C-alpha cells in the first residue's frame, strides 16, 4: 500500500494490489495492540537481524522522521511512548486509512489467493485462485507466515523459489517462549509481569517479562526471541542494580529487599534453593546462588508458534536483491519489499519502518523507470 501510495502521487496507472484477504492491511489493523507501533525514534541496522549494510542503506533512504512527516501531512500524529515507540493516538485505522486513501489509483484485487508464478519472456504470469494476472513489473510484498489467522503465509518464498531465488525458511520470532521442566515454576506465576534484562549472547534486551500459562512472554522476551535460536539465555531479574546494592540492609529479610512481586520472590528463591532469611545470616554459598538472580540461566524449550508470533526470521536472500532499487539481481522488473526479505526487526516499530522504507526505495526506482 505504501508503494502504491507513492506511485499514485506521481500519477501512475495500471497498478493492481493483489491480496487473499477480504480487507487490506490486516497486520496493521492488529498491530501494537490495535494502536499500531508505526516506527521508532531511534532506528538503525543494529535493531535488525539481517545483512547490516543492506538494512542501513534502505533505512537511510526513508527515515522515521520522513515517515512521521508523511503521516503528519495527512493529519496523523502518532504519540511517542517508552523506548521511543510511536503509536497511533486512537487506533491503527489512522495509518490504514491514510494508506488506503493515498493508494486509491490502484485496483484492489481482494480475495485473490496467489498460488504460483511463471516468467514468460519478459512478463510475470501470476496464478491466483481467481485466474491469471499478467504483469510487466512485479513487486512481491507478501510478508511472512507469522499470524496466519490474519493472512500471513509463506507464498513469497514459494514464488521466490519458482524464480530461482535463494531464501532462508521462515521461523517464528517476536514470540513467547515455552519452558523446560526446570522452569515449570514460571507457569504458576501466570499474569505477573516484572522488569528484566535478557542476555542472548551478543545482545541484551530490557523490558517487561510476562509470565504466561505456557511459559514466558512480554516485550523483553519477544525482542530477545529475535536473536535466540537454541541454548541458554540469562535473565537479570534485578537489572541496573548490583546484588549488594539490592541487599543493602543487612538486618532485613532477603525477600523484602528484592522489590519484586511476593509470589515471584518465593518461586525464584525456591528455584535457586535459597531460604529466605535476614541478609547478615546469608552464607557465602547462598550469596553465590543469589547471584543467579542477576543471570538466571534458562534454556527455552521452544516458542509459542506462528499463530502468536509478530514476525518471522528468514526470507529472500538479500545478496540477490539490489538495495538501491529492491530489484532482484536475477530478474529484471521483479522486486521484493518488506518482511518477505531476510530482514527482521526487534519489537518497537522496526518492522513497519522496514516495510515502509523498502517500499519507498522500490517506489523511487519504479518511478525513475516508468514515470520520468
Ligand X SMILES: Cc1cc2nc3c(=O)[nH]c(=O)nc-3n(C[C@H](O)[C@H](O)[C@H](O)COP(=O)(O)OP(=O)(O)OC[C@H]3O[C@@H](n4cnc5c(N)ncnc54)[C@H](O)[C@@H]3O)c2cc1C
Positions in the binding site for ligand X (CB under 6 A): 18-21, 26-27, 30-32, 36-37, 113-114, 141-143, 146-147, 151-153, 155, 310-311, 338-340, 349-352, 355
Cβ contacts of 236 within 8 Å, gap of 6 or more? 196, 197, 198, 199, 293, 294, 295, 296
Cα 146 → chain centroid: 10
- State which residue, 31 or 364, has the beta carbon closest to ligand X: 31
- C-alpha torsion sign, points 70, 72, 74, 77: positive
To ligand X, the closest distance from the beta carbon of 295 in angstroms equals: 30
Cα 353 → chain centroid: 10
To ligand X, the closest distance from the beta carbon of 235 in angstroms equals: 24
To ligand X, the closest distance from the beta carbon of 270 in angstroms equals: 34
d(C-alpha 296, C-alpha 185), whole Å = 13
Cβ contacts of 151 within 8 Å, gap of 6 or more? 19, 20, 21, 26, 27
- State which residue, 26 or 138, has the beta carbon closest to ligand X: 26
- State which residue, 30 or 370, has the beta carbon closest to ligand X: 30
To ligand X, the closest distance from the beta carbon of 18 in angstroms equals: 6
Q: Between the CA of residue 127 and those of 16, 21, 46, 116, 119, what are the distances in Å?
A: 14, 16, 38, 5, 11
To ligand X, the closest distance from the beta carbon of 277 in angstroms equals: 44
Q: With helix as H, strand as E and coil as C, how does 59-107 read?
A: HHHCCHHHHHHHHHHCCCCCEECHHHEEECCCCCHHHHHHHHHHCCCCE
To ligand X, the closest distance from the beta carbon of 159 in angstroms equals: 9
- State which residue, 137 or 294, has the beta carbon closest to ligand X: 137
- State which residue, 37 or 183, has the beta carbon closest to ligand X: 37
- State which residue, 30 or 295, has the beta carbon closest to ligand X: 30
- Grid cell listed for 300: 527455552
Instruction: Give the CB-nearest residue to ligand X.
Output: 338
d(C-alpha 209, C-alpha 162), whole Å = 41
d(C-alpha 301, C-alpha 201), whole Å = 17
- Grid cell listed for 130: 481467481
- State which residue, 207 or 338, has the beta carbon closest to ligand X: 338
Q: What is the DSSP letter of 203?
A: -
- State which residue, 64 or 300, has the beta carbon closest to ligand X: 64
To ligand X, the closest distance from the beta carbon of 178 in angstroms equals: 19
| Helix-strand-coil split of the chain, %, nearest 5 | 40, 25, 40
Neighbours of 348 (CB within 10 A): 27
To ligand X, the closest distance from the beta carbon of 193 in angstroms equals: 18
Amino acid at each position: 500500500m505504501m508503494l502504491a501510495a507513492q506511485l499514485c502521487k506521481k500519477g501512475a496507472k495500471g497498478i493492481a494490489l493483489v491480496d487473499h484477504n477480504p480487507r487490506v492491511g490486516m497486520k496493521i489493523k492488529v498491530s501494537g495492540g490495535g494502536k499500531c507501533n508505526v516506527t521508532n525514534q531511534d532506528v538503525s541496522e543494529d535493531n535488525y537481524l539481517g545483512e547490516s549494510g543492506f538494512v542501513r542503506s534502505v533505512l537511510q533512504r526513508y527515515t522515521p522522521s520522513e515517515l512521521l512527516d508523511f503521516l503528519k501531512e495527512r493529519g496523523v500524529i502518532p504519540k511517542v511512548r517508552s523506548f521511543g515507540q510511536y503509536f497511533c493516538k486512537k487506533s491503527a485505522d489512522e495509518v490504514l486509512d491514510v494508506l488506503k486513501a493515498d493508494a486509491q489509483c490502484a485496483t484492489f484485487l481482494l480475495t485473490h489467493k496467489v498460488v504460483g508464478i511463471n516468467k514468460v519472456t519478459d512478463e510475470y504470469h501470476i496464478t491466483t485462485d481467481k485466474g491469471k494476472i499478467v504483469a510487466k513489473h512485479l513487486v512481491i510484498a507478501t510478508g511472512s507466515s507469522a499470524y496466519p489467522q490474519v493472512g500471513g503465509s509463506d507464498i513469497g518464498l514459494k514464488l521466490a523459489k519458482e524464480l530461482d531465488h535463494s531464501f532462508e525458511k521462515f521461523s517464528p520470532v517476536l514470540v513467547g517462549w515455552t519452558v523446560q521442566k526446570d522452569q515449570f515454576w514460571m507457569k504458576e506465576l501466570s499474569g505477573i509481569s516484572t522488569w528484566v534484562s535478557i542476555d542472548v549472547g551478543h545482545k541484551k534486551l530490557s523490558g517487561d517479562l510476562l509470565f504466561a500459562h505456557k511459559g514466558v512472554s512480554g516485550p523483553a522476551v519477544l525482542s530477545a526471541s529475535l536473536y535466540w535460536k537454541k541454548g541458554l539465555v540469562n535473565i537479570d531479574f534485578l537489572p541496573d542494580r548490583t546484588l549488594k546494592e539490592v541487599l543493602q540492609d543487612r538486618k532485613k529479610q532477603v525477600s523484602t529487599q528484592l522489590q519484586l512481586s511476593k509470589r515471584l520472590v518465593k518461586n525464584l528463591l525456591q528455584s535457586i534453593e535459597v531460604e529466605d532469611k535476614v541478609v547478615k545470616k546469608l552464607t557465602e554459598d547462598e550469596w553465590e546462588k543469589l547471584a543467579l538472580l542477576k543471570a538466571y540461566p534458562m534454556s527455552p524449550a521452544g516458542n509459542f508458534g506462528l499463530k502468536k508470533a509478530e514476525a518471522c526470521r528468514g526470507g529472500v536472500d538479500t545478496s540477490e536483491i539490489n538495495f538501491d532499487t529492491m530489484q532482484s539481481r536475477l530478474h529484471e522488473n521483479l522486486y521484493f519489499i518488506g518482511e518477505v526479505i531476510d530482514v527482521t526487526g526487534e519489537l518497537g516499530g522496526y518492522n513497519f519502518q522496514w516495510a515502509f522504507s523498502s517500499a519507498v526505495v522500490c517506489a523511487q526506482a519504479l518511478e525513475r523507470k516508468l514515470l520520468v
